[in-house]
A and B are shown apart, each in its own frame.
Chain A
Amino acid sequence: MSKEIIKIQDLKREFTMGTETVHALKGLSFSIQEGEFVTIMGSSGSGKSTMLNILGCLDQPSSGLYEIDGVSVKDLSRNELATIRNEKIGFIFQSYNLLARTSAIENVELPLLYNSKVSSEERRERAIKALKMVGLGERLDHTPSQLSGGQQQRVAIARSLVNNPVMILADEATGNLDTRTSYEIMSLFQELNKQGITITFVTHEPDIATFSSRTVVLKDGNIIQDYQNQDVQSAAAELAKLPKQDH
């Protein structure tokens, strides 16, 4: 049996808005195994974002258990959470969140700057390796403004890979991209997943879910569906089906 990366049991998250208490997550339980490609689906207000924040160790549950790679996250201090994010999670955002006027390689190096165990030589090496993995080995010195949207997201993916995380956490990673480019990005995710990288993809687009191996659907703070995808589509194949662009 493969290793359990994420373990969630009866997870609740409540927010107090004035006198009212909002139950964003109402007691969820699920786990993610190493090597899975999970999409978390849900419309807005379903608790998707709250789930993402907790999975990303940006927020902590009000009650229940959340373990990532065997570490219980509840009751950790701000600093300890930062260390977990630094060492175990790779973030990818909808709007890329690259540092402006900063080269691709420096953007990718960023997480390692906050890890004192990594020397500057190793940092550079790993950043170059990560950029090669996403197919940007030739554009190390390009700044975000010199890259297309798809390329910027590739830099962000390289950044999420550079710290060898146990899981990549993508938040609507294709939301800002056209269909062609988002298929390209999904095909890159599938490739990385084949190499054994665990991916959790939060989205509201159903067609993105068809590329993943498992889908978890949230509604009103509860899991309403959690199924293995029997017919995983190949993003590369879908990409080939798209009409050729006119030049």
Chain B
Amino acid sequence: MRLLNLFKIATKAIILNKTRTLLTMLGIIIGVASVIAMLAIGEGSKESIRTTISSMGSNMITIRPGADDRGPARGSGGNVQTLILEDYNEIKEQASLLSYITPVVNGGGQVINGANNWPSTIYGVNPEYLNIKAVGLQSGSMFTDAEVKSAAKVALIGETVVENVFPDGQDPVGQMIRFNNIPFKVIGVLEEKGENTFGQDQDDVVIAPYTTVQKRILAIDYLNQIMASAISEDDASEAVTQVTDILRSQHKLIESEDDDFTVRSMEELISTFSSTSEMLTILLVAVASISLLIGGIGIMNIMYVSVKERTKEIGLRMAVGAKGADILMQFLIEAILISITGGVLGVILGLGATVFIETFLNWPTSVALYSIVISFAVCAVTGIFFGWYPARKASALDPITALRYE
């Protein structure tokens, strides 16, 4: 009852000072809107990084020879020959958390079709490679396990290779190409994947059985890499541990020795890149928060002026029976109403700005519910925090001096 009356008094005061209230709110509106927009941009870029990385292969795990080379002066992993087919067989047999696994050997070379040629990379893999990389076929079919076993000279090519060595729009499936002078029969074309986040053309590849690539092209018996897929995203880190354990026992490493291989999951990669964008988000939000703070100070300023200006009114209210607490509540409610109304308008403006950024600047955005909740809560707290001091001052006024104030 009493609170309702105070609420009425406060709203009345706000309505009587429309312009000033609106200008005060502006600080909060801009603050909240920018927090929401900045968080939306941050969330959006984080999400887009996540999707592009995931599209490179779901739950992918890569095993490379050589120790983790994120230190000074180590040899490049590609030159180390510690990863062999035996390792692959062992992992395939023992690791329970992997759904697909393939050995990988790769090398660069020239793809030639008649007068057309194109520098590309050949990947020697097994048929599970397609599942691991989450890539489908445009036409033709994947080679079979039997063809792997027999080291058949068959290959699948990516769209970029097709464009460059079959420029006449001729169907490449069934045609013969040569890779470093070794003839391959094209049996399929890979689906287009475009560039990945790092600007690498994922369509500039030739895929062939790893046995063929090992023997005919590279003449090696070790592996450059093993690729696998965890059975689910949640199991990826567990799978990394499993693979590490298997390889350590396979390589007969004792406790004190470092791994002579590196196992990494896509998860790690995602988190590395996410953390960069998260940093940026934090920075943006920090800047936006400062404007929210300034908005809060604006409220404090205007409430302070309002208390000064209405000193006589406060004296009158006290003379007719308002208690200190009533005056405190009146001004506090006023401050909170200003900041919350500003908050609501700010949320609307922020969402509008987000839509604008998305449509006109083509930046990926994603409005998180928590950003709305947080900025709104901050608003209410701002109102209380910055409204408190002037309200407290008003309530502590001596009615006699207040009444005589001119």
Assess whether B252 is interfacial by the CB under 8 Å rule: no
| Residue contact B1 to A82, C-beta cutoff 8 Å | no
| Residue contact B321 to A78, C-beta cutoff 8 Å | no
Assess whether B282 is interfacial by the CB under 8 Å rule: no
Out of A82, A99, A119, name the residue touching B313 (CB < 8 Å): A99
User: If the complex has contacts A111-B320, A116-B1, are A102 and B403 also in contact, measured as CB distance less than 8 A?
Assistant: no
Residues on B with C-beta less than 8 A from A114 are 2, 5, 317, 320-323, 326
Out of B1, B312, B322, B400, name the residue touching A58 (CB < 8 Å): B400
User: If the complex has contacts A59-B400, A79-B324, A116-B1, are A110 and B319 also in contact, measured as CB distance less than 8 A?
Assistant: no
Mark interface residues in A49-80 (1 if CB within 8 Å of B CB, else 0): 00001001011000000000000000000110
Residues on B with C-beta less than 8 A from A146 are none
| Residue contact A97 to B403, C-beta cutoff 8 Å | yes
Look across to chain B and name the residue whose beta carbon is closest to the beta carbon of A102. Answer: B12
Residues on A with C-beta less than 8 A from B320 are 85-86, 91, 110-111, 114, 159, 163
Out of B9, B400, B403, name the residue touching A113 (CB < 8 Å): B9
| Residue contact B321 to A83, C-beta cutoff 8 Å | yes
Assess whether B350 is interfacial by the CB under 8 Å rule: no
Residues on B with C-beta less than 8 A from A58 are 318-319, 399-400, 403
Residues on A with C-beta less than 8 A from B8 are 113
Out of A56, A113, A116, name the residue touching B319 (CB < 8 Å): A56
Residues on B with C-beta less than 8 A from A91 are 319-320
Q: How distant is A225 from chain B, measured CB to nearest CB, in Å?
A: 26
Interface size class of A (residues with CB under 8 A): 20 to 34
Assess whether B316 is interfacial by the CB under 8 Å rule: yes
Which interface residue of B12, B16, B403 has the most chain A CB atoms within 10 A? B403
Residues on A with C-beta less than 8 A from B324 are 78-79, 82
Once the chains are docked, how many angstroms separate the CA of A93 from the CA of B319?
A: 11
Once the chains are docked, how many angstroms separate the CA of A246 from the CA of B130?
A: 107
Q: How distant is B30 from chain A, measured CB to nearest CB, in Å?
A: 29
| Residue contact B321 to A82, C-beta cutoff 8 Å | yes
Mark interface residues in B327-368 (1 if CB within 8 Å of A CB, else 0): 000000000000000000000000000000000000000000
Residues on B with C-beta less than 8 A from A99 are 313, 316
Residues on B with C-beta less than 8 A from A83 are 321, 323
Mark interface residues in A156-197 (1 if CB within 8 Å of B CB, else 0): 000100010000000000000000000000000000000000
Count residues of chain B with CB under 8 A from any CB of chain A: 24
Once the chains are docked, how many angstroms separate the CA of A119 from the CA of B5?
A: 10
User: If the complex has contacts A53-B400, A58-B399, A58-B400, are A86 and B313 also in contact, measured as CB distance less than 8 A?
Assistant: no
Residues on B with C-beta less than 8 A from A111 are 320-321
| Residue contact A78 to B9, C-beta cutoff 8 Å | no
| Residue contact A97 to B312, C-beta cutoff 8 Å | yes
Residues on B with C-beta less than 8 A from A97 are 312, 315-316, 319, 403
Residues on A with C-beta less than 8 A from B9 are 113
Residues on B with C-beta less than 8 A from A86 are 320-322
Q: Which residues of B in the span 1-54 have a Cβ within 8 Å of any Cβ on A? A: 1-2, 5, 8-9, 12, 16
Once the chains are docked, how many angstroms separate the CA of A111 from the CA of B323?
A: 11
Residues on B with C-beta less than 8 A from A220 are none
Look across to chain A and name the residue whose beta carbon is closest to the beta carbon of B1. Answer: A116
Residues on B with C-beta less than 8 A from A59 are 400
Residues on B with C-beta less than 8 A from A119 are 1
| Residue contact A87 to B321, C-beta cutoff 8 Å | yes
Residues on A with C-beta less than 8 A from B400 are 53, 58-59
Assess whether A115 is interfacial by the CB under 8 Å rule: yes
Once the chains are docked, how many angstroms separate the CA of A163 from the CA of B16?
A: 26
Look across to chain B and name the residue whose beta carbon is closest to the beta carbon of A86. Answer: B321
Q: How distant is B402 from chain A, measured CB to nearest CB, in Å?
A: 10
| Residue contact A85 to B2, C-beta cutoff 8 Å | no
Residues on B with C-beta less than 8 A from A93 are 316, 403
Once the chains are docked, how many angstroms separate the CA of A236 from the CA of B400?
A: 34
Q: Which residues of B in the span 292-323 have a Cβ within 8 Å of any Cβ on A? A: 312-313, 315-323
Residues on A with C-beta less than 8 A from B2 are 114, 116
- In the A-B complex, list the 8 residue pairs whose CB atoms are closest, starting with the nearest: A86-B321, A111-B320, A114-B321, A113-B5, A82-B323, A116-B2, A97-B316, A79-B323
Chain A residues packing against B (C-beta within 8 Å): 53, 56, 58-59, 78-79, 82-83, 85-87, 91, 93, 97, 99, 101-102, 110-111, 113-116, 119, 159, 163
What 13 additional pairs, Cβ within 8 angstroms, besides A83-B323, A97-B312, A99-B316?
A58-B319, A59-B400, A82-B323, A82-B324, A85-B318, A85-B319, A86-B322, A97-B315, A97-B319, A102-B12, A110-B316, A111-B321, A114-B326
In the assembled complex, 9 residue pairs joining A and B whose CB atoms fall closer than 8 Å, in A order, are A58-B318, A58-B399, A82-B324, A85-B320, A86-B322, A93-B316, A97-B403, A99-B316, A114-B326
